Structure 1
Amino acid sequence: MNAVPVITTSDGFRLDSAWHPGGPSAVVLAHGITGDLTEQGLFVTLAEKLVAAGFSVLRFSFRGHGASEGRPRDMTVAGELLDLSAAVSAAASAAGGPVSVVASSFGAVSTTLSLATLPVRSVVLWQPVLDLRRTFLEPELPRGIKLYSDRSSLRDKGFFDIEGRFELGAPLFEEFTRLDPRAAFLAAEAPAFVIHGDADEHVSHDIARATAAARPGTGWWSVPGDGHGFRRRGPEVIAATVRWLASRAG
C-alpha cells in the first residue's frame, strides 16, 4: 500500500486516507456513521480483494471520524458530500480511470445524494440508510429505537450523545428532516448492487429491498441471517462485491 497525497476538501478539511494501488479502475470506500476507513475491518479485506482483482482502492475517513480533521458533533451530510467528492477526485487522479463507490450504512447517504453530480461508474450499497426519518427521527428497528428515541440531549447539551462514544450535532438532525437519499437513488441511472442482511436490527432491510426492486439496473442480495455489519457472512459479502464490480469493469 502506497501513500497518496493528503485529501483536502474544498472547504479545507484534511481527510485521513489509505491508497491501495492496482489497475486504472478505482473503487472508493465510504464508511458508516461513527466508523472510520476500516469499517470494522471489512474495508481492509475488501481493499485487498479488489486489488487482487485489478482495481485500485481508496479508503478514507469522513470529517469528524477516525484521524480526519473535524469534530464528530460538527459533521453534516453537506460536509460528507464534500468529503466524498474530494475522495472520488483523488482516486480518479491517482488511478487514471473510472471510479466506482462501495458505501456502507450511512455512507450510502452521501453516495446516493451525489449520484446526480459525481462521475461515478457504478455503486455497491451495503446495508444502506435510504430513509433518514425512519432510521433516525422515527426509528422502527430495535437498535435505532434504543439509540435515537430519546434526543433530549440535543435540547439540553446542544448535541446528541451516542452511548458516550460519539456526538452528533443538531444541524445533522435538521438535515434528516429534509434530505431523501432514497429519492436520489431512484432518480439516478448509475448501475448499482444493493446488499443487506435480512436480520438487520438497525437499518431497514425492507426499505432497501423495495427500493432496489423499484430501480432499473439494480442488483439485490438479501443476506440470510445476518445483521448490521455483516458479522456472520462478511467474507461472502466481500466476495459478491468484488465479483459484481469486476463484471461491470469487463
Structure 2
Amino acid sequence: MNVQEVALTGAHGVRLAAIREGANPEAVVVFAHGFLSDKHALGRFDRLAARYVEAGYSTLRFDFSGNGASGNAPITDERRTGDLRAVLDQVEAWGYQRVALHGHSKGGSVSLRARDPRVSAMVLTGARTAPVYYDWSEHLPADVLTGIRTRGRGRSPATGPRAFHLLTQQSLDDFATVDTREILSAVKLPVLLMYGDAPHDREELLLAEHAACGMRYLSPESRLLIIHGADHSMEGHIEEVADHGIAWLRTHCPA
C-alpha cells in the first residue's frame, strides 16, 4: 500500500504535516479533523482511511495549523478554512479530478464553511451547523482561560507531537458564531451528515437536532443519517461510518 508522509503549506505559510495514502491518481478523500485533534483522530481516521483505500480511493489526512505535527498558530475557524483551501490547492496540483471531504466535528463545520467548488461530495460526522454555547470553565483549565482573558491567548496542554494548543478568544467564540442559513445554503454539493443518538451524549443529540433543522438549506440530494448507539466520537461504530461513507461516495464521487 502506498503511504507517504508529506509537508504541505497552509494558510499564512504554516507548515502542515500530512499523510498521503492509496494509488488512485484521480479520486481522493481529504480528511478534516476536529477541535484540538489531529490527522489520526485517536486512530479513527487511520481506520477510515484504510477503508477508503480498500474501496479504491486515495486519501489525504493532515493536521490543521496549531494541531498535531503542524506548525504553531492560533486555532480559529478562519485559519482552518484557509488551511483546508490550501490543501485543496495542493490536491488540485497533484492532478486529482474527483475530491471528497470526510470531516468530523469542527472539521465537518470547516468543510461546510470552505464550500470549495473543487469538492464533489462530503461525508461529515458530528458537524456543528448552528451556534453551540459552552461554559468553557468546564472544558479548559483555569490558567488557559486566564491567559486568554489577560494576554489574548492561552496554551492548552496537548499530547502527542506538540506541547500545547494556542487558543484565543476567537477560538472559543467560533463555536457560537455560526449562521446556519448562510453556511448551509451556500453548499451546493451532496452532503451526508451522520450523528449518534447515544442517550448520555446530550451534545451530540443537540447537534443532530440542529442539523435536522438545517437540512432544508442543503442540496436536495443531501441526507441526514443517525448511527444508533454512537456518541460524538463514533468510537465503536467506525466500520458503520465507513460503510455509509463509501456507499455515499460511490454515488456522488466515484473512485
Match for residue 67 of structure 1?
Answer: 69
Gaps of 5+ in 1: none
Cα displacement string for residues 181-232 of structure 1 (whole angstroms, at most 9, x for unaligned residues): 6631233211110000013443422112222355322112111121111123
Match for residue 242 of structure 1?
Answer: 246
The answer as to 2:185 corresponding to 1:186 is: yes
Cα displacement string for residues 95-116 of structure 1 (whole angstroms, at most 9, x for unaligned residues): 521111011000122211111x
Q: Which moved more, 1:223-232 or 1:202-211?
A: 202-211
Give, as a single letter, the amino acid of the residue that structure 2 aligns with 1:146: E
Q: Does the 8 Å CA contact 1:85/1:118 hold for their aligned counterparts?
A: no
Give, as a single letter, the amino acid of the residue that structure 1 aligns with 2:237: R
Q: Does the 8 Å CA contact 1:158/1:169 hold for their aligned counterparts?
A: yes
**Pairing of 1:51-130 with structure 2 (within 5 A):** 51-71=53-73, 74-115=74-115, 117-130=116-129
Q: For residues 235 and 182 of structure 1, do their structure 2 counterparts lie closer, same or farther at Cα, with a shift above 3 Å needed?
A: farther
Match for residue 7 of structure 1?
Answer: 8
Cα displacement string for residues 6-45 of structure 1 (whole angstroms, at most 9, x for unaligned residues): 2112521110000012321111000001100011211111
For residues 188 and 20 of structure 1, the distance between their equivalents in structure 2, rounded to whole angstroms, comes to 27
Q: Tell me how far 1:173 sits from its aligned partner.
A: 3.3
Q: Which moved more, 1:173-182 or 1:188-197?
A: 173-182
Give, as a single letter, the amino acid of the residue that structure 2 aligns with 1:85: R
The answer as to 2:214 corresponding to 1:223 is: no
Q: Tell me how far 1:176 sits from its aligned partner.
A: 4.6
For residues 192 and 5 of structure 2, the distance between their equivalents in structure 1, rounded to whole angstroms, comes to 28
When the two structures are superposed, what TM-score results if normalisation uses the length of structure 2?
0.82
Q: For residues 27 and 181 of structure 1, do their structure 2 counterparts lie closer, same or farther at Cα, with a shift above 3 Å needed?
A: farther
For residues 238 and 6 of structure 2, the distance between their equivalents in structure 1, rounded to whole angstroms, comes to 30
Match for residue 159 of structure 1?
Answer: 153
For residues 117 and 217 of structure 2, the distance between their equivalents in structure 1, rounded to whole angstroms, comes to 22
For residues 97 and 203 of structure 2, the distance between their equivalents in structure 1, rounded to whole angstroms, comes to 35
Q: For residues 157 and 225 of structure 1, do their structure 2 counterparts lie closer, same or farther at Cα, with a shift above 3 Å needed?
A: farther
Q: Does the 8 Å CA contact 2:9/2:86 hold for their aligned counterparts?
A: yes
Q: Tell me how far 1:245 sits from its aligned partner.
A: 0.9
Q: Tell me how far 1:146 sits from its aligned partner.
A: 3.1
Match for residue 203 of structure 2?
Answer: 202
State the superposition RMSD in angstroms: 2.6
Cα displacement string for residues 121-180 of structure 1 (whole angstroms, at most 9, x for unaligned residues): 11111110122x32xxx239xxx78327x8953324533566x44442123234455443
Match for residue 168 of structure 1?
Answer: 167
Q: Does the 8 Å CA contact 1:7/1:17 hold for their aligned counterparts?
A: yes
For residues 51 and 7 of structure 2, the distance between their equivalents in structure 1, rounded to whole angstroms, comes to 24
Q: Does the residue aligned with 1:66 lie in a helix, a strand or coil?
A: coil
Give, as a single letter, the amino acid of the residue that structure 1 aligns with 2:211: A
For residues 149 and 216 of structure 2, the distance between their equivalents in structure 1, rounded to whole angstroms, comes to 39
For residues 137 and 209 of structure 2, the distance between their equivalents in structure 1, rounded to whole angstroms, comes to 17
Gaps of 5+ in 2: 159-164
Q: Does the 8 Å CA contact 2:121/2:189 hold for their aligned counterparts?
A: yes
Q: Does the residue aligned with 1:239 lie in a helix, a strand or coil?
A: helix
Q: Does the 8 Å CA contact 1:61/1:68 hold for their aligned counterparts?
A: yes
How many pairs were matched up? 239
Q: Which moved more, 1:201-210 or 1:117-126?
A: 201-210
Q: Does the 8 Å CA contact 1:92/1:98 hold for their aligned counterparts?
A: no
Q: Does the 8 Å CA contact 2:3/2:20 hold for their aligned counterparts?
A: yes
When the two structures are superposed, what TM-score results if normalisation uses the length of structure 1?
0.84
